[in-house]
Chain A
C-alpha cells in the first residue's frame, strides 16, 4: 500500500518539474536570475552583485528585449560565459549523468531493498503454529504467570 503510494508520489513529483512551457517564449530577467549563475562567485545571479553578474544581467536584458526565447538566451549565455553560467547542468550528454545517477541509484537501491524486504517476509518464524488463535493455552501456567508479572513490572 505505502509502496504504491511512494511510487505514485515519486512519479507525481517527476511530472511536476518546473513548468517551463509558459515562460519559454517570454522569459523575464527575474526568472532567469534563478536559473543562471555568476560563474566566478558560484552564486545564483539573483544573489550576486559582482561586476560580471551585472554584465550577465545586462546581457540577458538585451536578449529579452531582442525577443529571444529562454533556451536561445541560455545558449547565447553558454557560448559567451561558458557552461558554468547555467545553475543546473543540461540534461544531455555527459551532464545527463549528474541527473541520472541519483535517480538510477534510488531506483536500483529501492529495487534491492524491495527484494530484500520481500525475501525477509518469506522467512517463516520458528515452526508453524497450528492452533495459536489464543496463545495462552500453550504456555505452561507457571511460566505464563511469570510472564504477566514481568509485564506488570514494566508498567511501573
Chain B
C-alpha cells in the first residue's frame, strides 16, 4: 500500500511526460518542411494591393448605403463617389494579369455579371 502511494505518482508523472513528449515530437516526424507560398515576401506587395482593393470596394459600398440611409447628403455623395470609384478601379487594374503572369485574367473567378449597384 505504501509502495503504491509512492510509486503511483511517479508512474503517472512519467506517463504524462512521455505523452507530452510524443505529442511535441510528432510534427518533426510527420509534417513536411515545405514552406508555403504565402510566406514568400515577394507576395507582400500583391497582398497589399488586394487589401487596398477590398478597402476601396468596402468604402464604396458603405458610401452607397450611407447615402441611401440619408447619412450622406446627395452633394457629399456626388463629391466622394468619383474619387472612390477611381481608386477602386486603380487597384483592380493594378491586380490585372501583368502583375500575375501565370494565370489568365478571366479565369480567376467566374464573375456573375448581375445587377449594377450604381445607385
Other A-B pairs beyond A146-B92, A149-B111, 4, CB < 8 Å: A126-B87, A133-B82, A152-B117, A155-B117
**Complex CA distance for A150 and B83, rounded to whole angstroms:** 17
Number of chain A residues close to chain B: CB under 8 A = 24
Q: Which of A126, A135, A147 contacts B82 (CB 8 A)?
A: A135
**Looking at chain B, what size class is its interface with the partner chain?**
20 to 34
- Which residue of the partner chain B has the closest CB to A133? B78
Kindly state whether residue B20 has any CB partner on chain A within 8 Å. no
Given A132-B82, A135-B83, A139-B85, A152-B116 contact (CB < 8 Å): yes
Kindly state whether residue B61 has any CB partner on chain A within 8 Å. yes
Kindly state whether residue A129 has any CB partner on chain B within 8 Å. yes
Given A148-B116, A152-B116, A154-B61, A135-B111 contact (CB < 8 Å): no
Instruction: Collect the chain A residues with CB atoms within 8 Å of residue B115's CB.
Output: 152
Instruction: Collect the chain B residues with CB atoms within 8 Å of residue A125's CB.
Output: 83
Kindly state whether residue B8 has any CB partner on chain A within 8 Å. no
Shortest 4 CB-CB contacts between residues of A and residues of B: A135-B82, A132-B82, A151-B117, A149-B111
Instruction: Collect the chain B residues with CB atoms within 8 Å of residue A144's CB.
Output: 85, 89
Which positions 117-156 of chain A face chain B at CB distance < 8 Å?
125-126, 129, 132-136, 138-140, 143-155
Given A136-B118, A155-B117, A150-B82 contact (CB < 8 Å): no
User: What's the nearest-Cβ distance from chain A to residue B56, in Å?
Assistant: 9
A132 touches B92 (CB 8 A): no
Given A129-B83, A132-B83, A136-B85, A150-B92 contact (CB < 8 Å): yes
Mark B residues whose CB is within 8 Å of A: 53, 57-58, 60-61, 78-79, 81-89, 92-93, 111-118
User: What's the nearest-Cβ distance from chain A to residue B116, in Å?
Assistant: 5
User: What's the nearest-Cβ distance from chain A to residue B49, in Å?
Assistant: 14
**Complex CA distance for A135 and B79, rounded to whole angstroms:** 9
User: What's the nearest-Cβ distance from chain A to residue B95, in Å?
Assistant: 10
- Which residue of the partner chain A has the closest CB to B92? A146
Instruction: Collect the chain A residues with CB atoms within 8 Å of residue B58's CB.
Output: 154
B57 touches A129 (CB 8 A): no
29 A-B pairs with CB atoms under 8 Å apart are A125-B83, A132-B82, A133-B79, A134-B78, A134-B81, A135-B83, A135-B86, A136-B118, A138-B82, A139-B85, A139-B89, A140-B89, A143-B93, A145-B113, A147-B89, A148-B116, A149-B111, A149-B112, A150-B92, A150-B111, A151-B57, A151-B61, A151-B117, A152-B114, A153-B112, A154-B57, A154-B58, A155-B61, A155-B117
